[in-house]
Amino acid sequence: MPLDRSVVQNIAHLARLELNAEEEAQYLSQLENILGYFRSLDEVDTSGVEPATEIVDPGDVVRDDVVDNPPAGEELLANAPSRHGRFFRVPKIIE
């Protein structure tokens, strides 16, 4: 699976990172280097090994169906870069 410029561009797009050409080239070479080293994992025989999706058994913290949050106060909206009343405002979305 060779890494190339178009893969880097696609990844950057998925991650919503606007990169210029220079950055693309830089990330391409760094990721190649890093992933090249990481290919050492190929040596490991993992047949029949379960992926570690749980680290410890944390029991199960769940909630009862109770409304215990107060109505949202101003402090929750105060960090918004742009607002319209109590709405968050964003550039117009075109579908």
Partner 1 sequence: MLEPIWQPLAQVAKELDAGRLSSVELTTQVLHHIEATEPKIHSFLTLTPETALEEARAADERRARGERGPLLGVPIAVKDVILTKGVRTTAASRILENFVAPYDATVIRRLREAGAVFLGKLNCDEFAMGSSTENSAFGPTYNPWNLQRVPGGSSGGSAAAVAAGQCFAALGTDTGGSIRQPAACCGIVGVKPSYGRVSRYGLIAYASSFDQIGPMARTVADCALVLEIIAGRDPRDATSAAQPVPRYSAELERPLRGLRLALPQECFGEGVQAEVRDAVLSAVRWFESQGVAVVETSLPHSRYAVPTYYLVATAEASSNLARYDGVRFGLRLAEEAGLLTMYGRTRASGFGAEVKRRIMLGTYALSAGYYDAYYLKALKVRTLVRRDFEAAFTRADVVAMPTAPTTAFRLGEKTGDPLQMYLSDIFTIAANLAGLPALSLPCGFDQEGLPIGLQLVGRPFQEAQLLAAAHAYEQAHPWKSQHPSL
Partner 2 sequence: MEKPTSVAVRKMDYEAIIGLEVHAELLTASKMFCGCSAKFGAPPNQNTCPVCLGLPGALPVLNRRAVEFAIRAGLATNCRIELFSRWARKNYFYPDLPKGYQISQYELPICVGGWLTLDTEEGEKRIRLARIHMEEDTGKNIHDAQVDASLVDFNRSGVPLLEIVSEPDMRTPQEASAYLRKLRQILQYLEICDGNMEEGSFRCDANVSVRPRGSEALGTKVEIKNMNSFRHVERAIEFEIGRQVRALREGEPLVQETRLWDPEREVTRSMRTKEYAHDYRYFPEPDLPPVRLNREWIEAIRQSLPELPDARRSRFVQQYGLPAYDAEVLTSRRDLADYFEAVVASGASPKAASNWVMGDILRVVRERELDRHLRIDQWPVAPNFLAQLIQLIESGTISGKIGKTVFARMLETNRAPEEIVRTEGLVQITDEGALLSEIQQVLAENPDKVAQYRSGKEKLFGFFVGQVMKRTAGKANPQKVNELLRSLLESS
H or E element at residue 83: strand 83-84
The reply to whether 52 sits near partner 1 by the rule CB under 8 A is yes
Q: Which lies closer to partner 2 via its Cβ, residue 41 or residue 94?
A: 94
Residue 78 DSSP symbol: T
The reply to whether 85 sits near partner 1 by the rule CB under 8 A is no
What minimum distance in Å lies between the beta carbon of 52 and partner 2?
A: 10
What minimum distance in Å lies between the beta carbon of 4 and partner 2?
A: 17
